[in-house]
Chain A
Amino acid sequence: MTYLFMTYTIIWALISGYVLILGKRQKQLQKEIKLLEEWNTEQ
């Protein structure tokens, strides 16, 4: 049972980690887009 628990914990930790990384990337890019838009309107 320990091995089974260990495996499924690793599987979901890695997949969730990747989903979080994707979310972080998206958030960062949205921030950059907002900054660029603001800069564009100021020009």
Chain B
Amino acid sequence: MSKVSGIIDKLLFFTLVPSFFLALWLVFIWSPVERVMGAPQKIFYFHVGCAWVAFLAFIIVGYYSVRNLIKPNMNHHIAAGISAEIGVIFTTVTLLSGMIWGKSSWNTWWTWEPRLATTLILWFIYVAYLFVRKMEGSWENIARLSAVFGIIGCINVPIVFMAIRWWNTKLHPVVFGEGKDQSGGGIAPEMLLTLLFSIFTITVLYAFLMRKGIEIEKMRDTVRRAKNRAISRLAS
């Protein structure tokens, strides 16, 4: 690991730990309790943060997938895989926290509302993507094939985001820019600050996990190459 890389890792870690505790303090103590929904409204801060990171992760998968489709590159293949893994984790968190939110405010665990349905489709696409990556064969072929899934998933990201605006369902709240003139929605300033800080914290967590994951996958690649060299030495 280079010196700069080590500094970045430390910087991320020492930003993440205090940010995490500060985010929890903002969510549970500082931000006001919403009058209608009560305490379960506080689910919203990390729910939105996790959804944002899931989107970011899949956009990054899409970016590396396009590059891999043009010319397969091991580093891009590794980065796309780790980003997809993190994206699946955060989409799972988003779906589960959304279900609990649904139960507390709509009195149902699940409803086939556009945002929920498109998020579930996104989750299935990326689970399929991770399965494709586990297939046998040359890494270049797997990189190309999985890139197709990665791009399809990435195309689904704006559809998930815009679902509640396009289909105009009143069930899922629009936080920013509601209605045709995009002037509706909006939350109290304390809630907005808490939300933005939660998003920041989870984004730092994503960056940290991404770097850790890439480092581990590069180690795996080094081990695989060393094993292959050892086998060919034994064979000759």
Q: List A residues at the B interface (Cβ < 8 Å).
A: 1, 3-4, 6-8, 10-11, 14-15, 18-19, 22, 25-26, 29-30, 32-33, 36, 39-40, 43
Contact = CB atoms under 8 A, between A and B. Distances in A.
Contacts of B47: 7
A5 B43 CA distance: 9
Contact of B89 (A7, A15, A26, A36): A15
Contact of B219 (A8, A15, A26, A39): A26
Given A4-B40, A22-B216, A36-B227, A43 B46 contact: no
Given A3-B104, A22-B216, A36-B227, 17 more contacts: A3-B40, A3-B43, A7-B40, A7-B47, A7-B96, A7-B100, A10-B93, A11-B50, A15-B89, A18-B89, A18-B209, A19-B209, A26-B216, A29-B219, A33-B219, A33-B223, A39-B230
Interface in B85-143: 85-86, 89, 92-93, 96-97, 100-101, 103-104
Q: Is the interface of B mostly helix, strand, loop or mixed?
A: helix
Nearest to B88: A18
B223 A10 contact: no
Contacts of A33: 219, 222-223, 226
Given A4-B39, A36-B230, A39-B230, A15 B93 contact: yes
B223 A7 contact: no
Q: Is the interface of A mostly helix, strand, loop or mixed?
A: helix
A15 B90 CA distance: 8
Contacts of B165: none
A6 B88 CA distance: 20
Contacts of A11: 46, 50, 93, 97
B212 interface: yes
B116 to A, nearest CB: 16
A33 B97 CA distance: 40
Given A3-B104, A18-B209, A26-B216, A32 B96 contact: no
Cβ-closest 3 pairs across A and B: A3-B104, A3-B40, A29-B219
